[in-house]
Amino acid sequence: MTEVSVELLDRALVEESAKKSGLLWVSAGDGSDRPVWHVWHEGAVVVVGGGAEQPLHGWATGDAVTVTARSKDSWGRLVAWPARVEELPAESPEWAAAVEELKAKRLNSPDFATVVERWARESRVLRFVPAGPSTEHPGAEPTDSHAAAPVPTPVTTRQPAPAALPRLLFGRRRARRG
């Protein structure tokens, strides 16, 4: 294969994996990867965050990140590629086009009719533009596990589930059947 065809195949793998994946992982700069929901729009991954949306971990225009996508079949790492971050200015034509794509994919928005106005007011829209050939792809997978500890969070359950809960839930089903 020629170098041009290898480059085109790599680009196609990046684009298709980003289009088909509902979630990507982006390096956060602290050695960890953060999940983001996204859309593929005009040659780049586009995300919205901040305010009531997903956290964007301080990414800013000009930052270099690594984006990783998983396989829909095996759920394993499929491809990772370097990207540069671009922030779209709120309400610019590029921002408006990206936001329309994001709005269509935003599930369970509590304010679907006014989500665009909310995003303009309190969120940021970032593009992760591919900035070179993939660093991981089929045939060039890493050998280490990439296992990581869960991200610390203040979220917790109010109290432990009662020990009798399974018996209460499943016991009632058996009683109804009999």
In a domain, 176, yes or no: no
**What is the identity of the amino acid at 120?**
A
In a domain, 159, yes or no: no
In a domain, 177, yes or no: no
d(CA 32, CA 104): 29
Q: Mean of the pLDDT values across residues 1-8?
A: 74
> For residue 69, what are the domain limits?
3-151
pLDDT score for 176: 54
pLDDT of residue 168 exceeding 80, the answer is no
Domain count across the chain: 1
Q: What is the pLDDT of residues 130-163, one digit of tens each?
A: 998 888 767 667 667 667 677 677 776 667 777 8
**How many Å is the Cα radius of gyration of the chain?**
21
Q: 33-36 and 77-88 as β-strands: parallel, antiparallel, unpaired?
A: unpaired
CATH number at residue 134: 2.30.110.10
Contacts of 115 (CB under 8 A, 6+ apart): 103, 106, 109
